[in-house]
A and B are shown apart, each in its own frame.
Chain A
Amino acid sequence: GAVVSQHPSWVICKSGTSVKIECRSLDFQATTMFWYRQFPKQSLMLMATSNEGSKATYEQGVEKDKFLINHASLTLSTLTVTSAHPEDSSFYICSARDIGSYEQYFGPGTRLTVT
C-alpha cells in the first residue's frame, strides 16, 4: 500500500527555536500534500494545502509566517515551525494525495513538545 513517512516522529525543543518536519511519499507521487494539527481528544484541523512548485494555501487563522511550508518535489513537503512556543505543542500530521488515485494517505505524525 501507499506509504507516507514523517520525520522526526517526536521532537522536544526550547521556546523560541525553530523545528522542521519532513513529509515524504515513498511509493507514489503527490502534487498535493496537506498539513494537519491535532490536539488531544480533538478533531483533525487542516492547517494548509501544499502544492508542488507553488505557494501553500493556509487555512484561516493559521499564521503563514510562523508555519512555513515548502513542497519542493512530488515526494517531499516540509513544515517549519518558527519561533516555537509552548502553545505550538501538538501532534502534526502530513497527508499526501496520490496523483493517480486521488486517495489521500497520512504520515505517522510528529509529536512536538515546546518547553
Chain B
Amino acid sequence: QKEVEQNSGPLSVPEGAIASLNCTYSDRVSQSFFWYRQYSGKSPELIMSIYSNGDKEDGRFTAQLNKASQYVSLLIRDSQPSDSATYLCAVNSAGNTPLVFGKGTRLSVIA
C-alpha cells in the first residue's frame, strides 16, 4: 500500500514568517513529487513539482526533496494571509499511475 503522510495541522504562522510543510512517502521507487494548494470549496492548484534531490525555488515557494529519507517539504517565505489553505503533497511512482495524495496540512497565516 503506497502511502503519503502529512501532519494534518492546523499549522499557524504569523504573517511574514516562514511556513514549513512536511511530507513522507512509503514507495521508494517514487519519481515525481508535487505540492498542491486547495482553498476551501475550491479544487487543488498545482504550485510546485520536483523530480530530483535538492531544492527547487519558485518565488516565495521552495520545494525540497530527499529521496534517501523519502521526504519532501515545502517552504513558504514571507507568508501572507492569502496563503491560508490546505496543502496537499502528492507522489507518482511511474507512468500513468494515479497520484497518491496525502490528507493535507491546513495552514493558517495570522495577520
A24 and B42 alpha carbons, distance in the complex (Å): 18
Q: What's the nearest-Cβ distance from chain B to residue A53, in Å?
A: 13
Range, interface on chain A = 20 to 34
A46 and B96 alpha carbons, distance in the complex (Å): 14
A-B contact count (CB 8 A): 40
B62 CB contacts on chain A under 8 angstroms: none
Interface of A, helix, strand, loop or mixed by DSSP: strand
Number of B residues with CB within 8 Å of any CB on chain A: 19
Residue-wise interface mask of B (84-98) relative to A, using a CB-CB cutoff of 8 A (1 in contact, 0 not): 000010101000101
Contacting pair A105 B92 (CB below 8 A) = no
- From B41, B42, B49, contact of A103 by CB (8 A): B49
Contacting pair A102 B44 (CB below 8 A) = no
If the complex has contacts A49-B96, A51-B96, are A109 and B43 also in contact, measured as CB distance less than 8 A? yes
A34 CB contacts on chain B under 8 angstroms: 98-99
Contacting pair B46 A104 (CB below 8 A) = yes
A20 and B36 alpha carbons, distance in the complex (Å): 27
Give the residue name and chain of the A residue nearest to B101 (CB).
A44
If the complex has contacts A43-B101, A43-B103, are A103 and B46 also in contact, measured as CB distance less than 8 A? yes
Q: Give A residues with C-beta under 8 Å from B.
A: 31-32, 34, 43-44, 46, 49, 51, 91, 93, 97, 101-109
